[in-house]
Amino acid sequence: MSHNPNIPHRLISQDAPQAPSFARATFTAVWNPINGFLEWFGELGLFAWQVLRAAIRRPFEGRELVRQFDEIGSKSLPLVALAGAAIGFVLALESRSSLVRFGAQSMLPAALVYSIIHETGPIVTGLVVSGRVGAGIGAELGSMKVTEQIDAIEASGVNPYKFLAFTRIVACILVLPLLTLAADFCGVLFGWLAETLAEPISLQRFINQGFVGTTFRDFLAPTFRTVVFGLIIGMIGCFQGMRTQGGTAGVGRSATSSVVISSLFVILADVILVKIILVFFS
């Protein structure tokens, strides 16, 4: 085939690829992450539906549930208690200097208790557990996926959504409020310790001053929040773990993404739930 040598070949070639327009490239760059996010959300929704369907059918895997209580609850307790204690101690030290400046140091116990019960205790517990448990669930289930252990469970005629996911999610939901109470307790105790180092005060007086005006209702809203945190941590950890691909590198990615995504969602849920609680409970 011949063509006019004065005309560059690229102008007459039918095969030459068209350079993507700037608009198309921009659209692709913006749309791809959105599409990926929507796909991820859709898959998460399907996963949640599978877990829910499995949950309402017998058997209820009681033994595995108890094992998960121990794994997620008992083994997280030292870390959560330590985090709560550290927050209480630091909060007392920091608040004291501010309150002294305004001559309101007598308000410290009440300010500390209010702060710990309403915000610091739940969010610190949520983040600590999402770090420890989210990574643990993501890595464990991811490793089970790549070594075909989840396939083996399914091949045995056992529903992995129930045996692996439902038990872990329920354990997270039930354990988070209890761990939050432990964090609150340690926070208040170490807050008193920090206060008593600066200006001796008996524990009883500190508690009396701290809990003045506090009612059972003050515990309800934060407890409800931690239930949601538990649902998020369990669901994201199991979802990321059970969709692991790509060998040991994939397991690492699942563990990391479980922590990152569950922590982000815990913070996001905290913001939304605080607003809802302020509207409906105040």
Write each residue from 230 to 249 as x if it is in contact with other proteins (CB under 8 A), else as -, in one continuous string: --------------------
- Which member of 99, 153, 198, 227 binds other proteins (CB under 8 A)? 153
Check binding of 154 to other proteins (CB under 8 A). yes
Residues in contact with other proteins, counted by CB under 8 A, come to a total of 17
Q: In terms of CB distance, is 18 or 156 closer to other proteins?
A: 156
- Tokens 């310790």 locate to 193
The stretch near other proteins (CB under 8 A) out of 34-42, 88-96, 154-162, 209-217 is: 154-162
Least CB distance to other proteins at residue 170 (A): 18
Check binding of 155 to other proteins (CB under 8 A). yes
The stretch near other proteins (CB under 8 A) out of 153-161, 165-173, 192-200, 262-270 is: 153-161
Check binding of 278 to other proteins (CB under 8 A). no
Check binding of 152 to other proteins (CB under 8 A). yes
Q: In terms of CB distance, is 143 or 180 closer to other proteins?
A: 143
Check binding of 43 to other proteins (CB under 8 A). no
- Which member of 35, 97, 147, 208 binds other proteins (CB under 8 A)? 147
Check binding of 48 to other proteins (CB under 8 A). no
- CA dist 169 and 161 (Å) reads 10
Q: In terms of CB distance, is 5 or 62 closer to other proteins?
A: 62
- Which member of 10, 57, 101, 217 binds other proteins (CB under 8 A)? 57
Check binding of 101 to other proteins (CB under 8 A). no
Tokens coding 170:
């329920």
Check binding of 56 to other proteins (CB under 8 A). no
Check binding of 158 to other proteins (CB under 8 A). yes
Tokens coding 185:
């307790």
Check binding of 149 to other proteins (CB under 8 A). yes
DSSP string across the chain: ----TTS-HHHH-SSSPPPPPHHHHHHHHHHHHHHHHHHHHHHHHHHHHHHHHHHTSS---HHHHHHHIIIIIITTHHHHHHHHHHHHHHHHHHHHHHHHHTT-GGGHHHHHHHHIIIIIHHHHHHHHHIIIIIHHHHHHHHHHHHTTHHHHHHHTT--HIIIIIIHHHHHHHHHHHHHHHHHHHHHHHHHHHHHHHHS---HHHHHHHHTTT--THHHHHHHHHHHHHHHHHHHHHHHHHHT--SHHHHHHHHHHHHHHHHHHHHHHHHHHHHHHHHHHH-
- Which member of 151, 205, 245, 268 binds other proteins (CB under 8 A)? 151
Check binding of 156 to other proteins (CB under 8 A). yes
Of the candidates 235, 50, 242, the residue with the CA atom closest to the CA atom of residue 146: 242
Q: In terms of CB distance, is 167 or 180 closer to other proteins?
A: 167
Q: In terms of CB distance, is 91 or 171 closer to other proteins?
A: 171
Burial call 225-253: b when 16+ CB within 10 Å, e when fewer: bbbbbbbbbbbbbbbbbbbbeeeeebbeb
| Contacts with other proteins, residue ranges (CB under 8 A) | 57, 59, 140, 143-144, 147-149, 151-159
